[in-house]
Every structure is written in C-alpha cells, then in structure tokens.
C-alpha cells in the first residue's frame, strides 16, 4: 500500500499523499531547510541564498547547501529544485544528470497541464 501511495507522486495524482508518513532525523537547522524545500513549487527552482532568506538565516547559504546535501529522501523532499544563484545547476547527491532530468521532467509536467 505504501509503495502504491509513493508511486502516485510519479503519476501526478497528489490527492492522497497525506497517507505517506516519514520519520526524518536531522538537526533543527536541517529540518527547517527540508521544510522550506517542500514549499518550492514543482516546476520551479530556488537558490541556496533565497532558501537561506526563507528560513531567516540570510548568511547561511553554505550551511543550507550542506543541509540540502544531507537530505536522505530525494524527490519527496525536493532538494533538486535548488540551484546556484548564477543559474548553474550545481552538484547533486544522486548525480547532476539526475537533477537536470528531474527539473526537466517537472517543467514538462507543468507545460502539459
């Protein structure tokens, strides 16, 4: 049942995602960053600095990057939606090519709506 709920993410049926429960362990700072990641809309991107501003830590963009890199759950907590302020995609824990593909897939989904 849990796997079927998780697969709904890829089918774009997000109406029943409240049934997916996660138990995340992290520092208070990491949890704050991961919560901020959840507020970045699908098909959009943000920067490390903008995310630092969002969590009221404007000088912590490097720490934000470290917290993002510690995210244990790719895609569900969308760390792939954060890029460098220069527009460069940047590194990704699960390979940069995958990050580019995920961003492209989300953008294509938004265009198809």
Number of H helices, E strands in the chain: 5, 2
DSSP state of 113: -
% helix / strand / coil in the chain, to the nearest 5? 55, 5, 45
Catalytic residue among 79, 82, 102, 103: 79
Residue 57 known to be catalytic: no
Catalytic residue list: 79
């Amino acid at each position: 049942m849990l796997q079927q709920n998780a697969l709904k993410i890829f089918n774009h049926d997000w109406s029943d995602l409240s049934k997916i429960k996660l138990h995340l362990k992290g520092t208070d700072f990491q949890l704050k960053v991961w919560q901020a990641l959840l507020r970045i809309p699908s098909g959009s991107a943000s920067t490390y600095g903008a995310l630092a501003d969002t969590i009221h830590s404007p000088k912590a963009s490097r720490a934000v990057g470290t917290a993002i890199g510690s995210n244990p759950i790719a895609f569900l907590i969308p760390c792939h939606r954060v890029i460098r302020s220069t527009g460069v995609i940047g590194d990704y824990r699960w390979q940069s090519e995958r990050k580019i593909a995920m961003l492209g897939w989300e953008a294509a989904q938004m265009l198809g709506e």
